Structure 1
Amino acid sequence: MPENEVVDLCRDLIRIDSRNAGDNAGPGERAAAEYVAEKLSEVGLQSTILESDTKRASLVARIEGTDANRADALLLHGHLDVVPFDAGDWRVHPLSGEIQDDCVWGRGAVDMKDMDAMILATVRARLREGRRPARDVVLVFTADEEAGGDYGAKFLVDKHPEVFEGVTEAIGEVGGFSVTAGGRRFYLIEAAEKGMAWMRLTARGRAGHGSMLNDDNAVTAIAEAVARIGRYEWPTRLTPTMEAFFRAIELDHTNLDQLGALQKMIGAVLRNTANPTMLTGGYKANVIPQTAEAVIDGRFLPGFEEEFFATIDELLGPDVSREFIQHQTALEFGFDTPIVRAMADALVQEDPEGTAVPYTLSGGTDLKAFSSLGIKGYGFAPLRLPADLDFAGMFHGVDERVPVDSLHFGTRVLDRFLDLC
């Protein structure tokens, strides 16, 4: 059974340092890709490692299906990079993969080396037992997801589109995990993602001595623009996915208290958001600089991109310009589809008391790149979680960890899903 080795695979992956600080910095993903290649080779599946730059490696492989009449392939994707950390803030070292309190601890335990391990464990078990899926299954373990995917998913789509031949559907991260609300257990399947607009703002003014009068101060202009954007209260906008979410859980969208720790995550997908994250300007205490800059992390809902940028431009004012650091589309796919029913059935077979519901992800995944090839995808990394675990807070957080039982559950669900889809 796949759950027999998933914990060891997860721990091994966590111990491989694949931190991604952006700007092509960090140790890269090559060591993690080689580990995955070795584990696939052990069960007879040959893979290919593709480097976009030194050590910036993604791995691809294809499992041939048994039904020659099925032309529609399925993509299982996970990323190998993780965000940086300050080890001094953690209870255990983030690269230890330690088991404590019945959880596997470490950077990537939920984002997303847990899913990488579940995919590996499921595929390895099925290939050892000769249980190939009906349709072709393409495996992709990417580099650089945490910095927007230029060295990973985008590289593969642009330079190696042949990898995705025949792929029509995909499953990846940040979905299929359980939440408890109103005494009921729901499994949130990601059917939509907000779009991304990382923007650099620039104000230009008149340089001069800090002791002089100056009514054209770039620092003042950028500070005022950042304050307007940071304090703006975006209106509520219910997308079809979130309307279906609230119908399914039988809650009103104006009452999020019953969602517990999840309310912060759900609240962020009921409106566009724009958070100032960086601010720079000047080089000496007594010099008024000619330019000052800020960075905004903007996220817009499916169907509301035009409204988002119109509002941003109004808030910027005439003295501040913007340019993109990253600009990625919003996504939304139907929930009443055969592949979603396969997910829901696989979950219910393992947890008869659970209910699958759609939701929108406030962040983004590699699916944005894959969708440019016409691939429809969902977040489905199934985990049955304790009701009191702040799972959303684990993403990029301190003391990231995943319950051992949840990993076992997820591999069983993925195994069932491959039989059903």
Structure 2
Amino acid sequence: MPASSLLDPVPLLQDLIRIDTVNPPGDEGRLVAHLERLLIAEGITDYKVVGPSAERTNLVVRFPGRGEAPPLLLHAHSDVVPVTGQQWTHPPFEGRLVDGEVWGRGAIDMKGGLAMMLAALFRLRERGERPAGDVILAVVADEEDGSGAGAGYLVENHPELFEGVRCAIGEEGGAGIELAGIRFHPIVVAEKRPGWLRLTLRGPGGHASRLAAPGNPMARLGAVLGALSGVRLPRHQMPAADRMLAALAGALPEPLAGAVARLREDGAADAPPSGLPQAEALQLDSVLRHTVNPTVVRTGHKINMMPAEITVDLDGRILPGEFEVADLVAEIRALIGDDIPVELLHEDPRVRPELIAEPEFGAFYHRLEAVLRAADPDAVPLPMMSPATTDATVFARLGIRCYGWLPLLLPAGAEHRRLLHCADERIPVDALEFGTRCLTELLRDHP
């Protein structure tokens, strides 16, 4: 029988937060070793630890089911983003429980989700129950830096571990959103993929005590940042975004419902509804177009030298479907011109369009909705297209239908969703318990 600490996501999460897996460098192997010890203590031996190095490992463990459904994949990444330059109220790697919330890097993104998955699986095991089908839990490295050592490594080197899997559950969805007094539980059905780029600005440098020469890289930098910061690229409305807007318009009260309907139906009315909070308005706007944001600028290190070269790294996100990096670059060039070299730093391979651009709203999706409605009858499940990218786009290469679904019932007006990658990341204990109960119900009976 599992120890009580394995049935409660809170101590599980606290232990996970205390294992520093900031990526880079990652060092996720320490967390995998911790989970391996838990599995061995419970007599679970059907697992594999694989990865490109001893420091960058992935854990894939199979929990046997009743044979009434195909195997189901639960995937969770073990790495977290840095905390450098952030001011935290409580230390980010101590996993403190303060006022009913677990604080620490990864509390939401996504060690909290991993803790819920583990607790749900161990609860079924403690009750002597088996899930409807085998459940494959993949704890993967490197999601925060391109997935090469994690999901990418597994898909390329060990696809046999996922044989027969038809559907998968991962991060990004679930955490409740409140709009106009209505609570929505997102179910992510499609994602963008990254197209990370680097611009190189070159021109006359020189001694900084003199007037700068025309066309110097610093002057050009200002124009580039001005052109690309917060830019709204041309609109491309994909099926997943269309269904998301339709669901919102059908659930929201007027006049917001009408505004969302017009945004969906009238391509010329290309502005997010003014009645939405800024964060939600920006998210809606982001799923209707490719996006690009300048994030890293590299230049000289001497105050008295005008640099002759400056690089600007761009976080580009490409809509699903037939779009390529070249489509994003063409839209960027329309703003900055053709004379600036553009280098591709990273691109996730394009998933077959039918696996990501055309989401499947069949029995499995309806089961996700049903679990949410039973757990929170006053809320509305929302099919969502995410402007971000997760390991779902990697596992989808195996023909797996991936959904972002980690339910969290957050307090009204809560800021927790906006704390991903920020200081003071934390998650309420009640939200962890809500998500664990939902996952347990899904695993008990999934199609």
Normalising by the residue count of structure 2, what TM-score does the alignment of the two structures yield? 0.85
Measure, in 2, the Cα distance between the counterparts of 1:64 and 1:312. Answer: 49
Pairwise mapping of residues 31-110 of structure 1 onto structure 2 (< 5 A)?
31-46=30-45, 47-67=47-67, 70=69, 72-86=70-84, 89-110=87-108
User: Which residue of 13, 16, 23 corresponds with 1:13?
Assistant: 16
Q: Report the CA distance shift for 1:213/1:418 in structure 2 as closer, same or farther (over 3 A).
A: closer
Pairwise mapping of residues 295-310 of structure 1 onto structure 2 (< 5 A)?
295-303=313-321, 305=324, 307-310=327-330
- SS state at 1:56 partner: coil
2:78–2:110 Cα contact (<8 Å) kept: yes
Measure, in 2, the Cα distance between the counterparts of 1:228 and 1:129. Answer: 58
More deviation, 185-194/235-244: 235-244
User: Which residue of 422, 431, 441 corresponds with 1:397?
Assistant: 422
Letter paired with 2:404: G
Partner of 2:343: 323
1:108–1:114 Cα contact (<8 Å) kept: yes
Pairwise mapping of residues 181-220 of structure 1 onto structure 2 (< 5 A)?
181-205=179-203, 211=210, 214-215=213-214, 217-220=216-219
Letter paired with 1:18: T
1:73–1:137 Cα contact (<8 Å) kept: yes
Deviations 1:118-159 (A, max 9, x none): 110011121233322232221100111111111111111122
The Cα of 1:267 is off from its aligned counterpart by 3.4
Tell me how large the CA RMSD over aligned residues is: 2.5
Partner of 2:273: 255
- SS state at 1:53 partner: coil
Deviations 1:177-197 (A, max 9, x none): 212223222110111111211
Letter paired with 1:233: R
Partner of 2:266: none
1:87–1:93 Cα contact (<8 Å) kept: no
Letter paired with 2:160: E
User: Which residue of 85, 89, 111 corresponds with 1:113?
Assistant: 111
The Cα of 1:30 is off from its aligned counterpart by 1.4
Q: Report the CA distance shift for 1:256/1:176 in structure 2 as closer, same or farther (over 3 A).
A: farther
Measure, in 2, the Cα distance between the counterparts of 1:351 and 1:103. Answer: 21
1:145 equivalent to 2:148? Answer no
1:178–1:384 Cα contact (<8 Å) kept: yes
Partner of 1:225: 224
The Cα of 1:369 is off from its aligned counterpart by 1.4
Deviations 1:79-118 (A, max 9, x none): 1111111486111111121122211111111000111001
Measure, in 1, the Cα distance between the counterparts of 2:334 and 2:282. Answer: 27
Partner of 2:366: 341
Letter paired with 1:326: H
1:350 equivalent to 2:350? Answer no
Partner of 2:253: none
Partner of 1:293: 311
Measure, in 2, the Cα distance between the counterparts of 1:352 and 1:332. Answer: 29
Measure, in 2, the Cα distance between the counterparts of 1:145 and 1:193. Answer: 14
Q: Report the CA distance shift for 1:227/1:260 in structure 2 as closer, same or farther (over 3 A).
A: closer
Letter paired with 1:318: D
Measure, in 2, the Cα distance between the counterparts of 1:222 and 1:264. Answer: 25
**Any gaps of 5 or more consecutive residues in structure 2?**
250-256, 264-271
Measure, in 1, the Cα distance between the counterparts of 2:370 and 2:36. Answer: 31
- SS state at 1:89 partner: coil
Letter paired with 1:16: I
More deviation, 110-119/198-207: 198-207
Measure, in 2, the Cα distance between the counterparts of 1:31 and 1:204. Answer: 43
Aligned residues: 415
**Any gaps of 5 or more consecutive residues in structure 1?**
none
The Cα of 1:4 is off from its aligned counterpart by 4.7
1:370 equivalent to 2:395? Answer yes
The Cα of 1:287 is off from its aligned counterpart by 4.7
Q: Report the CA distance shift for 1:18/1:283 in structure 2 as closer, same or farther (over 3 A).
A: closer
1:105–1:399 Cα contact (<8 Å) kept: yes
Letter paired with 1:60: V
Measure, in 2, the Cα distance between the counterparts of 1:59 and 1:119. Answer: 14
Partner of 1:359: 384
The Cα of 1:165 is off from its aligned counterpart by 1.6
The Cα of 1:54 is off from its aligned counterpart by 4.0
Measure, in 2, the Cα distance between the counterparts of 1:80 and 1:360. Answer: 23
Measure, in 1, the Cα distance between the counterparts of 2:132 and 2:77. Answer: 25
- SS state at 2:33 partner: helix
The Cα of 1:31 is off from its aligned counterpart by 1.7
Q: Report the CA distance shift for 1:231/1:104 in structure 2 as closer, same or farther (over 3 A).
A: closer
Measure, in 2, the Cα distance between the counterparts of 1:96 and 1:213. Answer: 49
Q: Aligned residues: percent identity?
A: 36
More deviation, 234-243/47-56: 234-243
- SS state at 1:320 partner: coil
The Cα of 1:59 is off from its aligned counterpart by 0.7
The Cα of 1:236 is off from its aligned counterpart by 4.0
Measure, in 2, the Cα distance between the counterparts of 1:213 and 1:258. Answer: 45
Letter paired with 1:277: T
The Cα of 1:256 is off from its aligned counterpart by 5.2
